Structure 1
Amino acid sequence: MSDSLAERERTLPRKERTRADASQHLERLAWLLDDLIRIPVLGWRIGLDAILGLIPGIGDAATSLASIYILLSAVRFGVSKITLARMGLNIGIDYVLGAVPLVGDLFDASWKSNRRNLDLLRRHMQLPGHNARRARMSDWLFVTLIAVALIGLLFASFFVAVYALSRLARLAD
């Protein structure tokens, strides 16, 4: 970081410095999950979401939990409930379609739900007066409901997978 940029960040009000740090932190997380590695010749970028998605069950669940962190952070920025719902839907679509063997792995590489959610957060932060709205208790309850639904989806898919495997094992006997 250049000295002038570092100096400007130090002169920002504390609240704005915290927002800048949090935004930078979320940018890094989205980059890790969606754009970590560039595929030569094709020019496509994939992240840990697509790579860990190759591990059946565990990979998609782990990256979805990391995605929920971005959703929870959006509440602190005062994002509207409709935007939170869109962010939750992006995570849900990524998890459900990403869990489909092989096709889901290709989908994970192209959908980039974390990048989409970060773009939604950036759009919110560019709105005039976005600092005026603070997170309310209803926002936290709403995003908790979304997170519980997504985690419930994770557990439900795990139990469906265990059930399907047990049925296959019985058929093999």
Structure 2
Amino acid sequence: MEKALSTRLKWVERVSHLMDEQFKIPGTNFRFGLDPIMNFIPIAGDLGGFAVSTALLLTMAKHGVSRKVLLLMTLNIILDSTIGAIPILGNIFDFAYKSNSRNIKLLKEHYEEGKHQGSGKGIIAWIIITLILSFALIVYVLWATISWLAGML
């Protein structure tokens, strides 16, 4: 890893690894982290993963990645959190999608390969609003799913 990422955001990469790739299934190359495990705890796991991803995103925004990178990272988080909130399907999806790892890849492309240049500092408020709306959507998906499951009983 190049110095640009390692000196600025090394801890972001460590947290991302913990959330998405910390563990390996023996005899395979398949890796997973705490995010899909946390999602086995209804509501709290989904919201916890969303909070960690949001904190990582805001840290990256603070360090000035481009607007395009921030938007792509936000979309990764929204997709992961919204689909991840759906029982069973969401658990399977979380083992495969790994939004934090995708966001680290975008970050490396920005700092190491010079892709997606520009500053993202001017859109932090927009991202915060988008994430708040996403949070509301996740809560709604959880509520609707729980209501639907309760109606089946």
TM-score normalised per structure 1: 0.74
SS of alignment partner, residue 59 of structure 1: helix
Q: Check whether the contact 2:66–2:120 (CA below 8 A) recurs between aligned residues.
A: no
Does the Cα contact within 8 Å between 2:82 and 2:134 map onto a contact in 1? no
Quote the RMSD (CA, aligned, Å): 2.5
Query: Hey, what does 1:101 align to over in structure 2?
Result: 87
- Once the two structures are superposed, the pairs formed by residues 8-23 of structure 1 within 5 Å of their partners are 20-23=6-9
Partner of 2:121, secondary structure, is: coil
Aligned partner of 2:106 in structure 1 is 120
Partner of residue 92, structure 1:
78
Q: How far does the alpha carbon of each residue in 1:67-123 deviate from its partner, in whole angstroms, 9 at most, with x for none?
A: 011111121122222221211111111112222322322211111100001111121
Q: Which runs of 4+ in 1 moved over 3 A?
A: 19-22, 161-165
Unaligned ranges ≥5, structure 2: none
- Specify the structure having the higher radius of gyration (Cα): 1
Matched, 1:68 2:58: no
Deviation by residue 1:13-51 (Cα, 9 ceiling, x = unmatched): xxx7xx745411001110110011111122211101111
Q: TM-score, normalised on structure 2? A: 0.82
Higher relative contact order by CA 8 Å / sep ≥ 6: 1 or 2? 2
Q: Number of residues paired by the alignment?
A: 149
**Unmatched 5+ residue regions in structure 1?**
1-8, 10-15
Aligned to 1:142: 126
